[in-house]
Amino acid sequence: MGTEDFNKDLITYLYDEMSTEERQQFEIAMENNPELKREFEELQEMRKGLAQIRDKEVMEPFFLWGKNGAASLGNLFKRRSLMMFRPFIAVAASLVIVLIIGYLTNFSINYKDKSLYIGFNNENTQQEGMFTQEEVAQLVNQEIAKNNAYIFSKLSETENSFDSRFAALESSQKMPDIPSYLDRDVVTRKELDVFLSNVRSNNLKVLKTYLESSSAQQQDYFQAVLTEFSDYVETQREEDLRLIRRSLINLQETQQTQKEETDQILASILTTVNNQEN
């Protein structure tokens, strides 16, 4: 008997497919051949090892049987081709989850003026259109400097204007001619009175002209100041209104976002409750 035959007989004996007579013959052969017996024991040991793999319980999927063939719903959803992309799908799903969480928590990262701002709910981030304390101080200082320059230029203009008007006034108002009798050594009382009266009336005229001119100038100045103040108030009002409008829009957007989040949470709760009921 060759080795191959021994091997086949060994397997047949191992799996109990020999007739009684064959079995007896093989057992005698095994008793006389320790090598064969050892091999038998090894294979038997191997069988014990294989017996450790037990059947698994499984739920059969839902099949659709039809005239045009059959299909399994499980097959439709668990194609190997899809499973092949499972790692990519997992990565994409993780990214989507991160993005959703980031959106819901208002997570933001900003890089501005060599500074990186990371935060939730925009509390730690610098929003568009907002200024830091230093920037506000700088802006205020710039505006004050501009305003001072403007006021000084206006004052200077006014001063120049006054000077020119005053000069014009002075030149237009000639001193009364000195009467010839003042050249004499003796002047009568009457002549002196007349002279003084002329001087006084002349002075009065100059003062009156000056006051009128000054009053008109002041009136012009105040009018200009009032106009500018009115413009400033109007501009400020428009700016305030714009700020209020922007705040209202922000408030409206925040409310809308909160409403959407609440809707999502409610929908999630409803789905969970429905699933539990089913």
Partner 1 sequence: MAETLRDIALYHSECLVEKSQKGDNHAFGKLVGLWFKRIYNVALKYFGEHDLAMEVTQRTFIAVYNNLDSIKEVKSFKYWLYKVAINQCHEEERRQKRRTWFSIFQSDDAKRMEEVNFQPEKEFQQKETEEIMGSILKTLPEEQKVVIIMKEYEGMKFREIAETLGISENTAKSRLYYGLKSLRKTIENSGLNLQYNY
Residues near partner 1 (CB under 8 A) are 4, 7-8, 10-12, 15, 17, 42-43, 45-58, 60-61, 63, 65, 69-72, 74-75, 78, 80, 83-84, 86-87
The residue whose two tokens read 């007349």 is 194
The residue whose two tokens read 């004052």 is 155
In terms of Cβ atoms closer than 10 Å to its own Cβ (0-12, 13-18, 19+), residue 103 is exposed
- C-alpha–C-alpha distance, residues 81 and 10, integer Å: 44
CB 176, CB 202: distance < 8 Å: yes
User: Least CB distance from residue 67 to partner 1, whole Å?
Assistant: 9
| Nearer residue to partner 1 within complex by CB, 86 or 200 | 86
| Nearer residue to partner 1 within complex by CB, 45 or 277 | 45
| Nearer residue to partner 1 within complex by CB, 87 or 129 | 87
DSSP at 273: H
User: Least CB distance from residue 14 to partner 1, whole Å?
Assistant: 8
Q: How many CB atoms lie within 10 A of CB 17?
A: 10
Give the tokens for residue 246: 């922007």
User: Least CB distance from residue 34 to partner 1, whole Å?
Assistant: 18
- Give the H/E segment covering residue 96: helix 86-104
User: Least CB distance from residue 127 to partner 1, whole Å?
Assistant: 43
User: Least CB distance from residue 3 to partner 1, whole Å?
Assistant: 11
- C-alpha–C-alpha distance, residues 106 and 100, integer Å: 10
| Nearer residue to partner 1 within complex by CB, 43 or 169 | 43
Long-range CB contacts (within 8 A, 24+) of 79-85: none
Distances (CA, A) of 219 to 207, 210, 226, 230, 247: 18, 14, 10, 16, 41
User: Least CB distance from residue 33 to partner 1, whole Å?
Assistant: 16
Q: Give φ, ψ of 18 to 5 degrees.
A: -100, 155
| Nearer residue to partner 1 within complex by CB, 51 or 178 | 51
User: Least CB distance from residue 85 to partner 1, whole Å?
Assistant: 9
User: Least CB distance from residue 26 to partner 1, whole Å?
Assistant: 14
| Nearer residue to partner 1 within complex by CB, 89 or 225 | 89
| Nearer residue to partner 1 within complex by CB, 72 or 122 | 72
- Give the H/E segment covering residue 79: none
| Nearer residue to partner 1 within complex by CB, 25 or 161 | 25
Gyration radius from the chain CA atoms: 55
Strand partners, 12: none
